[in-house]
Structure formats: C-alpha cells, structure tokens
Structure 1
C-alpha cells in the first residue's frame, strides 16, 4: 500500500512539508480536493445531460 501511496502522492504535485508526516497530510488534503473536483465535474456533466439530453454530447 505504501508504494501506491507514494506514487499517488507524487502524482498530486511537489512534496510539501519538512517531514514525511506533514507531506502525507498535504497529500491527503490534495486527494480530498481532487475527489471533490472530479465529483463536481461529473455532476455538471450529468446536469447538462439531464437538462439538454444526450444530443448535447453527440450521442
């Protein structure tokens, strides 16, 4: 699990913090922000489809 966490944390951006614990805390905050961002995008897309139909995206 720690290998995957390191890869994920590095994918989120530059390591921030003086210790690994601080860096992990920042990575958790960035992860929550990323999940919130992705969920918001999906809700916007679903709302557009619901209100304008599938023709909006060419289907």
Structure 2
C-alpha cells in the first residue's frame, strides 16, 4: 500500500504488480512504543503526509 504512494510523492512511476507480488502478508517492521515513551514524536502524523512533505523543499 505504501510503495505506490511513495512513488507518486516522488513523481516516479508506480511499481509493477510483479514487484510487490507475494508480500501482502508481511508484518509491520517496527514498533515505536519505546521511542514514544521517551518523548519522541513523529514529524508527520501519517506516512502518507510524510511522503508528501518529503518532496517539498
């Protein structure tokens, strides 16, 4: 779900379906619970808004 959004935010072509085939069952790769407990807050509320703002100067 995030790869096409990142490509769009960067102005790149969307990846082919073959590039993402078989990855639907992947688990989330990170947990930021400890970082949040220590006071860290993300710069953007969602990865979609973060991707959008990455292309902005």
TM bucket (normalised to shorter chain) is under 0.3
Q: Looking at both structures, which has the greater relative contact order when contacts are Cα pairs under 8 Å and sequence separation is at least 6?
A: 2
TM-score (norm 2): 0.24
TM-score (norm 1): 0.24
Structure with bigger gyration radius: 1
